[in-house]
Structure 1
């Protein structure tokens, strides 16, 4: 009686080619299914004052809105809520349509708070909003 204990069973090696194909198909799918354009862009003018530049001939009125780190905001030192700020801006724009709104914020204020305030001011009709 003869036993073949040394007989080896040969297995096929696992091929990585189908796995790589699946990865590339998924990559292609997600590249085609997503879009990389920006939904909304916030235009910020980061130009500084030029040295030796002449002052504008007609000074325009400005309104200072201050954002505090503890989520408070004030207009000229008077604390306001965001809806009150919108009403004040609308009233001021009725008197002076060329009004500039300047936002001054504490360094700890979150960016989302600043962007939300800018959105509110633009929705109220402010023609020019600046960050200080």
Structure 2
């Protein structure tokens, strides 16, 4: 029987330690997770003197609406560059226009590499 005047109190579960553990787990998984794979793009900048440039000029300017090979508009840069190349490993200098996105420049680099032209340098 309950005595008069004594009311049993219910114990409440403390939520603060549980919330702390949840936040610690959240921080751990955020720091440990990989949010996507990165791909490395082999690229040389023309500022370094790794290899001397020789032969005729091979400058490809990437514009938002087209390509210029040595200042002349070209729909097929590989065909325009082939008479200027002694071998596929000759250096080709790429220059991006003012309004060109990085993705457009990477697409042109991918097209040139798919055609077998591997020595690409980007003008700063």
Q: Common fold, TM-score beyond 0.5?
A: yes
Unaligned ranges ≥5, structure 1:
51-55
CA spacing shift, 1:18–1:105, aligned 2, 3 Å? same
Alignment of structure 1 residues 1-20 onto 2, 5 Å: 12=12, 14-20=14-20
1:71 aligns with 2:65: yes
Instruction: After superposition, give the CA deviation of every residue in 1:45-72 in whole Å (9 maximum; x if it has no partner).
Output: 346367xxxxx5x83344111122x432
Instruction: After superposition, give the CA deviation of every residue in 1:31-89 in whole Å (9 maximum; x if it has no partner).
Output: 444267x5311233346367xxxxx5x83344111122x432122333233xx224444
**Alignment RMSD (CA, Å):** 3.4
Instruction: Please give the secondary structure, in 2, of the residue aligned with 1:102.
Output: strand
Unaligned ranges ≥5, structure 2:
none
How high is the TM-score relative to the length of structure 1?
0.61
Name the CA distance, whole Å, in 2 between partners of 1:47 and 1:77: 19
CA positional deviation for 1:104:
1.9
Say which of 109, 115, 118 aligns to 2:109: 118
Name the CA distance, whole Å, in 2 between partners of 1:19 and 1:88: 65
Q: Of the two structures, which has the highest relative contact order with CA contacts closer than 8 Å and spacing of 6 or more?
A: 2
Counterpart of 1:45 in structure 2 is 44
Count of residue pairs brought into register by the alignment: 114
CA spacing shift, 1:78–1:61, aligned 2, 3 Å? closer
